[in-house]
Structure 1
Amino acid sequence: MQRTIKNMKRTGITFVEVCLAFLILALVALPVFHFLTGAVKDTERFYTETIAISRAKFIMDSLMFQMPWRAIGAGNPCVFEDRKEVSGVQAFISKAIPKMFGDECSTVDPNVFKGDGIYRCRKGFVFRARVKVEDLDQDSSGAPIQFTIALPGKPKQFFQIKDLVPKDDYGKFNLIKKIVVQVKWSNSKNLDPKDDPNAKSVFLVGFKSDLEG
């Protein structure tokens, strides 16, 4: 009986052996943990890039195909307003701009909005959208844009913008707007990209012509 008890005591596990087992387990699990952490970060990075590109494309498409020409004012950020004060256009602007830019795009004038806002996705990442608009108008450069029309049997005819369109609501002979959409974001949750030195940005550039008149 005593011999059996002695044999049972010899088959026990010491505290040192338990610590050694945990150490080996930690050494094996650590690379796996780093791999999984890196995979999660890559997934979040791809997610934020997709959201940013989708947001930039949504804003550009809305400006190119839905927003009235006269409602887009030049600037950085640009301004959205209808100087003709058509109620339907003003109502469209007041609903469309917050959907495009999120918060912080309103001004003291309820009928005027700026092309600059902040958007938070459902996962907590923060995006800032900003639109810069340049009027390529008659007076935008020392060499005004000219259009050439060649007719059979006749000499070429040259037209400047002022010969083709009347002045717009901003008092310019303008036919083309250059639109630059920037979406900036942080890969850290709940961090404003303007406060993140490692923030990322995506840009889209388009040209909108006055086809309304």
Structure 2
Amino acid sequence: MLQQFLLVAGAHFLALLSPGPDFFLILRYAIAQGRAQAALACIGITLANALYILLAWWGLMALNSQATLFLSLQWAGCGFLLYMGWQFIRHAGRRPLLGETDTARSAPVGALLAGLGSGLLNPKNGLFYASLFAVLASQGVGWTVQGLYGLWMTLVVLGWDLLVVWLASQPALMRRFGQQLVHIERLAGIMLVLLALAVIASLRPV
């Protein structure tokens, strides 16, 4: 049981380490709007992950990966990734990381909804949880144990995202990060576009 948990937790954490739209959304909120707004975006992202985990846990996504709703979310997510990627490439390095935060802060619900939308429209999230829980079910892992795994992953998502917010508030770290910001954002944009194209290729009928 311990070995299985370590495998599940390790795979999930490695997936979190891969920078995606959620990561850069949190980073930008932390830089432009401050910790409180970024934390709300984190909560929205966590809620989106929790929803995907629940769907996968109940077997709805694992058993119906070709369902219209699931496919629609994947196509919408590809559009979102293409948009995000283009925005990163277009505006790379234009906002200094150590500048003042925006004076016109968005409403708290705006940050929450932005995080929720980012999490729901990120194709990686749905595909990862659907695949993971399908494997767990095929290995005969009990429903209760799967639920505990889901709870663990939800808490880890929130903890990791809040850690990103904290790191983004460290001037010394952000100063080093800012020196390479334009290259990092361009690379992130290219990665998001390539991810979207890869998902589109996998969704197209053979």
Same structural fold, with TM-score higher than 0.5 when normalized by the shorter chain: no
Higher helix share: 2
- Structure with the larger RCO, 1 or 2 (CA within 8 Å, 6+ apart): 2
Larger radius of gyration: 1
- Structure 1 length-normalised TM: 0.27
* TM-score between the two structures when normalised by the length of structure 2: 0.28
